[in-house]
Chains A and B, each alone.
Chain A
Amino acid sequence: MSVVDHLPILIIIIPLIAAPLCVLFDSAKVSWLLALAACIFSFIGSIKLLNTITASGPISYSLGGWQPPWGIEYRLDLLSIILLLLLTSIASLVVLFARYSVEQEISKNRIVPFYATLLLAIAGLSGICISGDVFNLFVFLEISSIASYTLISLGKDRRALNAAFKYLVMGTIGATFILIGIGFLYMQTGTLNMQDLSERLPSLYDNRTIRAGFAFLTVGICLKLALFPLHLWLPNAYAYAPSVVSAFLAATATKVAVYMLLRFLLTVFDFNFSLNTMPLDVILIALGSVAIVSSSLVAIFQVNLKRLLAYSSIAQLGYISLSIGLASKLGIASAIIHLFNHALMKGALFLALGAMIYKVGGAELKHCQGMLKRMPLTSLAIIIGGLSLIGIPGTAGFISKWYMINASLEAGLWPLALLILFGSLLAIIYVWKMVEAITLQPSTSTATAPLTRDEAPLTMLVPIWALVIANIYYGINTELTVSLAQRAANILVGGY
């Protein structure tokens, strides 16, 4: 076997191993380089894997050389690789960005463990996306969760601690629910391997244990996914965590939760059972709709921009779950598309805010005074990201909106189409609140910042603009996103 055959495990294990190495070397600079190298390696690895998968179908890698279902299997299909690409690319950019931001926001003797923990979070999330074994998935879920709690608690504002604790309690409840769900499945099938499960479950769909297991898995995952009304942990967690952490988690963590949902609903169980036999589709649509409207409304009244974006994230997750609830190929596809695009937008926006915090010292409306003159590039990034969030044509957001509306029309549910558009209207309001604050000339009375041009360092601008450009690129050329998403959806709905 050549190294290439081992890529599935390598892209997980390299970041994982990099973490203890950071601790061994115990130097901030080295840790940063290690983290960066590991993430970039995984990114390149996932690109290679993407090519293999698109060429020759799903990849299976049995760990320890034990054949599944006795051993643990790693299994990559299109959905996994989409997520992995997203994760690794964003991780690389975020780590690149982290250098100065971390030096400023995190006390000196914590930087090394910080990078180690960040690496563990990245590896954990990637591990979830690649694992073909439900219990292994649980283990990696816990790695990423514990890492995330820690990273969030590092925020300067003391509310970060409370937020982290809330998240810890909610997250652990969710994890335990998932554990119970897995237990029920195991009870009736005796296996933990996803494929094996998907073969054995259909004969058991009337079994009450299986149905209960299904319920617990769904609820548990929805807790992690921050689906309304289980979202209460999210806003403060994203608002008060260190900039880097907010950017990374906002762009990836909830997306991975969505991945888990799709994986369990459509692979472990199957499309008909999850979204037709079970009433889940209705529930998802209902909760999604509420999430869209309520969270967008709340977002409008935020003064802390990170909090504003956090609420908008909940709304976006509403869009995603709504599209899944449409229970159609197109719906699933649009969910995946939006999952991808939303990660790009939120990544760009949170990183831009991070740069703003680095220079101006805060991300509240009052800090925006004269941003445009002070940090033109960052401001422009925020504006474009915002437009993408609204769904202005020419940005990635527009593509998501197009497909979601198409899906709801195709399902004959035009009120949902209206609702989605109404959501965008609310988005206009809260995005424009940001944009106005940034572009507004500082009135002499409240001019806090000197209007000398004072742009963020290059290691910050590069990741920000990489994501901004991605936003525009995927708004114009959707070869990758749309076609991949549609193929992935076909596979999922068709079965593994």
Chain B
Amino acid sequence: MDIALLAMLCVTAIAAIRIRDLFAVTMLFGIYSFLTATFFLSLDAIDVAFTEAAVGAGITTVLMLATLRLTGRYERKPKHNIFIPLIVVSITGAALVYGTLDAPLLGDPNAPAQQHVSPRYIEESPKEIGIPNMVTSVLASYRGYDTLGETFVIFCAGLAVIIILGIQDSGEVHPGRSAIGDQLVLRVVVKVLLPFILLFALYVQLHGDYGAGGGFQAGIIFASGFILYDLVFGEGDARLIVPPNFLKRLAALGVLLYAGVGLYSLFNGKAFLDYSALSDNPTSAQHIGIFLVELGVGITVFSVALTIFFAFSGRAQITVKTDRRPPL
């Protein structure tokens, strides 16, 4: 199983190097992500698998395609020689292999990584945090601050895209004119599917404590629902429902919610993000805290993902002008 997966991964990677049709390469990348996700599953990393699938195969691929629409599908044959890159790569690779020579074998339960910090998470978290999904516990509580940082990264990406591409506001949209043409079947399918997608998203959002999932995955799914709608029912319809300016603020609110929890506990005399300030009962305090921060993450991810999509698709209609605006 593993071997097969790895083999397929290698094939995909090599193909990605060789093929010049960027559209194909992007597709290959999507496949690659799926394979990785599967591989993660086989390594018991269910949350990661979920995310990788949603992000790698989902968002990233969509963005790349949106970009290709503008930048053209085929890559020119590169002139410059590949020897220096080859040397660099082989040196780096050699260094990595050298590094693995003393590495603990795959799956060795006595490896240092399994011995030192993680046992606490595995043994204590069900009691301390009171939720079965250890990944969520670590993500949202033990290392909740990292996740706050992560949320800010997302927020920053949103700002970045707004700054770099600007974003079409709800005014200038073309209801009905769809990106992939008018196809009744699709419309019906999507109409039927959409509610389930959104419901599933909510489920993932709330279920994060018990199974795979959490704010991040939920946000992406929720957003993809809208994206699907936008793709099928014509550019801009989604913008009418959630105007970009509103999204911007929504994203900000999401981050603020997360940081706010931290500040709340801080001003109640506890350390930043110490959930025990939220309730007298330690486990329920953890529950509340995790719920709130996951919600914050979900909101931010949703709105940023959608913003980015809008920005890219909005850009797609703009024909490349050659005349330049005089200096400001």
Contact = CB atoms under 8 A, between A and B. Distances in A.
Same complex origin of A and B: yes
A109 B156 contact: no
Contacts, number: 185
Nearest to B169: A109
Contacts of B163: 110, 113-114, 117, 150, 153-154
Among B117, B150, B251, chain A packs the most CB atoms within 10 A around the CB of B117
Contacts of A114: 163
A117 B112 contact: no
A200 B113 CA distance: 12
Contacts of B115: 190
Interface string B280-306: 000000000000000000000000000
B145 A209 contact: no
Nearest to B150: A139
Given A66-B141, A105-B328, A212 B96 contact: yes
A146 B162 CA distance: 13
Interface residues of B, number: 60
Given A6-B272, A9-B266, A23-B248, A143 B153 contact: yes
Interface in A153-204: 153-154, 156, 180, 184, 186-192, 200
Interface string B102-115: 11100000011111
A143 B146 contact: no
Given A70-B121, A190-B115, A24 B249 contact: yes
Contacts of B166: 109-110
B98 A212 contact: yes
A13 B270 contact: no
A23 B249 CA distance: 6
Given A113-B162, A120-B159, A147-B156, A139 B146 contact: yes
Contact of B116 (A26, A153, A156, A190): A190
A180 B144 CA distance: 22
A430 interface: no
Interface of A is mostly: helix
B171 interface: no
A143 B151 CA distance: 10
Interface stretch (B18-26, B54-62, B225-233, B254-262): B254-262
A140 interface: yes
Interface in A188-237: 188-192, 200, 207-213, 215-216
A213 B95 CA distance: 9
A149 to B, nearest CB: 7
Given A9-B266, A72-B146, A117 B159 contact: yes
Interface in B85-104: 95-96, 98-104
Contacts of A192: 117
B216 interface: no
Contacts of B249: 23-24, 26
B149 A66 contact: no
B256 A21 contact: yes
Interface residues of A, number: 67
Contact of B272 (A21, A64, A153): A64
Nearest to B138: A70
A318 interface: no
B185 interface: no
B274 interface: yes
Contacts of A63: 144-145, 271-273
A473 to B, nearest CB: 35
A157 to B, nearest CB: 10
A207 B164 contact: no
B152 A143 contact: yes
B200 interface: no
Given A156-B328, A215-B95, A139 B149 contact: yes
Interface string A91-129: 000000000000011010110011011001001000100
A17 interface: yes
B134 interface: no
Contacts of B120: 70
A57 interface: no
B117 A209 contact: no
Given A105-B328, A208-B99, 20 more contacts: A1-B269, A19-B159, A21-B256, A62-B271, A63-B272, A64-B144, A64-B271, A69-B116, A109-B166, A116-B159, A117-B160, A120-B159, A123-B152, A142-B153, A143-B152, A153-B163, A188-B113, A189-B113, A210-B102, A212-B99
20 contacts: A20-B251, A23-B251, A24-B252, A63-B144, A63-B272, A64-B141, A70-B121, A105-B328, A110-B163, A117-B159, A120-B155, A135-B143, A139-B150, A150-B156, A190-B114, A190-B115, A191-B117, A212-B96, A213-B99, A215-B95
